[in-house]
Amino acid sequence: MTARSRVDALRARHDAAWRDPAAVAAHWHEAGTIEDGLTASRTRGRWWETLAATGVTLLVTREYEHLVLALRATRRGPEVTYLRLPHPSGIAFDAARGLLHVASTRNPNQVYDLAPVVPPANGHKVGTADRPLLPVRTRFLPGGLYLHDLAMIGGRLHANAVGQNAVVRLDDHGSFTRVWWPRAIDGARGPAFDRNYLQLNSIAAGRDVAHSFFSASTERRGRFRPGDPEFPVDRRGVIFSGRTREPVVRGLTRPHSARLRKGRLWVDNSGYGELGVVEDGHLTVVAKLPGWTRGLDFQGEVAFVGTSRVLPRFTQYAPGLDVATAICGVHAVDVASGRVLGSLTWPAGNQIFAVTCLPAGFTAGLPFAAGRRRDAARDRALFYGFAIGET
C-alpha cells in the first residue's frame, strides 16, 4: 500500500466514524448496537395490566448490560424502549426542572441529564414515542466516588459516593460536596474518605439530609473490605439515620434501595431476596422474591421491585438465595398483602440497579424501540432536530 492510499484509507475510516447519534450521545462506539435477545422478556400474572392501572412509565437500569429500559402500557399494547449508557446505576427524577438524572458508574463517573424532547417538525416521519427522553447534558466526576444511588434531597441532586463512604451533593457546574457520612468513619485524623469500607449504597430521601436514611453493608470498618470474598455480610447490614449518623436498623444482609413511603422506611434486603418495611427498628418482610432484590419505587399501593442474578464471584453475598434459580426481572407487589400481582422477566438479563416510576405525561419512554431494527434516517432526524419544551 502506498503512502497516499494509506492516507486515503485513514481519511475514509475517520470520515465514517461517530456518525451514529446513539454512540455520540453515550460517548461510546457500541451504544448503537444491542445483542440479540437482550430485551426479550416473559410475563407472569397481570404485569401489563397492573402497569397500565398505575399510569406510569417505568424506568429500569440494567447496569452490567449497559442498558436503560422504559416500560409503558398503552391502548396499543406494551411499549418497551431503550437507551444504552455505560454501566447505568442510580436514577433520580427532578420533577421541578423536568430532568431525569442517570449515574454512569465507570471511571470516570458520569451523570447524564435526560429531558423529554419534542421530535422535529421538519416533515420527516420520526415515528417515535411522544416526548422521548434524550441526553441533553453530562458531567464527568472522579471514578473514586464510585457513584451508586441518586436522589433529590431539598431540590438538589445527591448521590452515594460509595468509594468515599459518604453522601455528596452534585452541583450543576460539575463539582461535588460531601454533605454526610456515618460517625463510624470519623477518626483522630479526620473521616476515612480514602476507600470503600462500608458499601454505603442507597438513599431514602427525606426533606433534607437530616431526615433521610442511608443503607450500608456494614456499620463499621473491619479487616476485610467490600469486594473481598471474605467480607462478612450475613446480618451485618444497617440503615443509618441522617440525623444521628448512627444505625437505626441492624440485622440486614446487603441492604439496598432504601426508600421512604408515607413516613415509613422500606428497603430491599438483597442477600435474602426480600422486600421489607422497618417497624420498631427491625425489618418486617413483606415479600420474598426470586432473586437479588435491588431497585424499588412505589406508585399508589404497588411496589415495583427489581430482582437480579447473583454474580458468580459474589455468591457468598447471597446466603438467603438459591443463586441457581435467581432471575432478572421487575415485580409488581401489593404493599398491603405482599402478593405479587405480575412480573416481567428477561431470560438473558443479569443485574438490575434502579427502578423508577415516571408520570406518563412526562414522557412515553426512550428513543429506541426494543425488538425492532433501528431506522438510521429516523434516528438522525430525531437527534438532529429535537427541541426541549412543549409542542
Greatest CA span in the chain, whole angstroms? 78
pLDDT for position 257: 98
According to the model, what pLDDT value does residue 361 have? 87
Q: Which domains does the chain have, with CATH numbers?
A: 45-58+92-349 (2.120.10.30)
Mean local confidence (pLDDT), 27-45 = 94
- Per residue in 64-111, pLDDT (tens digit) is 999 999 999 998 999 999 999 999 999 999 999 999 999 999 999 999
**Residue-wise pLDDT tens digits, 167-223:** 999 998 889 999 999 999 999 999 999 999 999 999 999 999 999 999 999 999 999
Residues 6+ apart with CB under 8 A from 138: 27, 104, 110, 111, 112, 113
pLDDT band (50, 70, 90) for residue 390: low
Render pLDDT for 313-349 as a digit per residue (tens, 0 to 9): 899 999 999 999 999 999 999 999 999 999 999 999 9
> Which residues does 117 contact at the CB level (< 8 Å), separation at least 6?
131, 132, 133, 134, 136, 386, 387, 388
368-369/156-161 β-pairing: unpaired
- Between the two ends of the chain, the Cα-to-Cα distance in Å is 54
Per the structure block, which three cell numbers stand in for 351? 443485574
* pLDDT tens digit sequence for 218-271: 999 999 999 998 999 999 999 999 999 999 999 999 999 999 999 999 999 999
Q: Is the confidence at residue 391, as pLDDT, over 50?
A: no
DSSP 42-95: EEEESHHHHHHHHTEEEEEEEGGGTEEEEEEEETTEEEEEEE--SSEEEEEEET
